[in-house]
Structure 1
């Protein structure tokens, strides 16, 4: 297990500058610091499996964070979001392609000073054997289908039953209802 963990960490530490993956990218800029368009082929992997050897056939059935093992240089890429405004959705978008090699297009964030290495924002996916691009934008649609009781206007997180339960228990600041009450009284 230590050998697998060491190998996985070495993959994550591989330098982005070794190759330029911006050629052919159609990624839309988010104007984020250190963003670079990046289009590449990669295998969708279960990160827990990669690090520990605990490998269910379905990459954890949507309950685990997924990664992209880039074909060109065996670098492990961490997809942190899809093409939607919130920092959500990468695992939902990649889950159908568990253990398959796909082509992704999006934005790479790589800045050692920020501590960001091989962080990726997936915008489109091309499945194996297909030339058809799939927009990586289904997270909120999936969320709405899973939470029909939370229908309404406004951002999803203001209506999410799980988020509301945590706020009810721990407060908006996560420091308890008493601290929240004092802060709200002082600032509003």
Structure 2
């Protein structure tokens, strides 16, 4: 073999040995598919952390009590995983479901999205179930709507939550649906729908 061929084989061996290349978290996963591009079932152990604290050192008690994005520091490779969706059909996030486990070691089951061809598509996690390490009891990651309804009892009604959310409606009343101001909003609505 030539030196060039040996060099290429050595480079391929290094790539194949890298954690990103060999990491397969599908074993033990019972996650349900969302049919999203680049999704793969994933089951792993991690510590629930405050992402801001983990990255910048700006730490607060109890992962910010829900005011900060929650992350998963994966035990196998030390990677920070971003759980940006829970098991519900909307993309409301997973912070509410993970907050009770702040600072604890957990096992999570869900879908991992990674695609090196898409900028930023690395360690995106859609958590479906959580349990404290050592426990046999799973907690379903589906509490967002229940939590929202408890916080906004006056926003009862039909239709999706965001049509009734006081924060969303206040923002629309101030900036319009397009965020361009009420005057431009009215002109665009007239142009598009009349």
Same fold by TM-score, threshold 0.5 exceeded? Answer: yes
Report what 1:152 is aligned to: 157
CA displacement at 1:89 relative to structure 2: 3.1
Map of 2:166 onto structure 1: 161
Runs of 4+ in 1 over 6 A off after TM superposition: none
- Which of these residues, 165, 170, 175, is aligned with residue 170 of structure 1? 175
The alpha carbon displacement at 1:93 in A equals 0.5
Q: Per-residue displacement from partner, 1:23-76 (whole Å, max 9, x unpaired)?
A: 111100000000010000000011111112122231111110010000011111
Q: CA deviation at 1:110?
A: 0.6
Counterpart Cα distance in 1 of 2:127 and 2:110: 5
2:10 paired residue number: none
Alpha-carbon offset, residue 129 of structure 1: 2.9
More helix by share: 2
Q: 2:124 aligns with which of 115, 119, 124?
A: 119
2:101 is the alignment partner of 1:97: yes
> Would the aligned equivalents of 1:16 and 1:110 in 2 still touch at CA under 8 Å?
no
89-98 vs 54-63, which moves further: 54-63
Measured in 2, the distance between the counterparts of 1:186 and 1:16 equals 49
Partner SS state of residue 123, structure 2: strand
User: Which residue, out of 46, 68, 74, partners 1:70?
Assistant: 74
Q: Which has the higher contact order (CA 8 A, sep 6+)?
A: 1
Matched, 1:37 2:78: no
Unaligned runs of 5+ in 1: 1-13
SS in 2 for 1:122: strand
Unaligned regions of 5+ residues in structure 2, if any?
1-17
Residues 27 and 42 of structure 2 are in contact (CA less than 8 Å); yes or no, is this contact kept in structure 1? yes
* Displacement of 1:101: 0.5
Q: Which residue of 2 aligns with 1:133?
A: 138
Aligned 8 A contact 1:16 1:118 in 2: no
1:15 CA displacement: 5.7
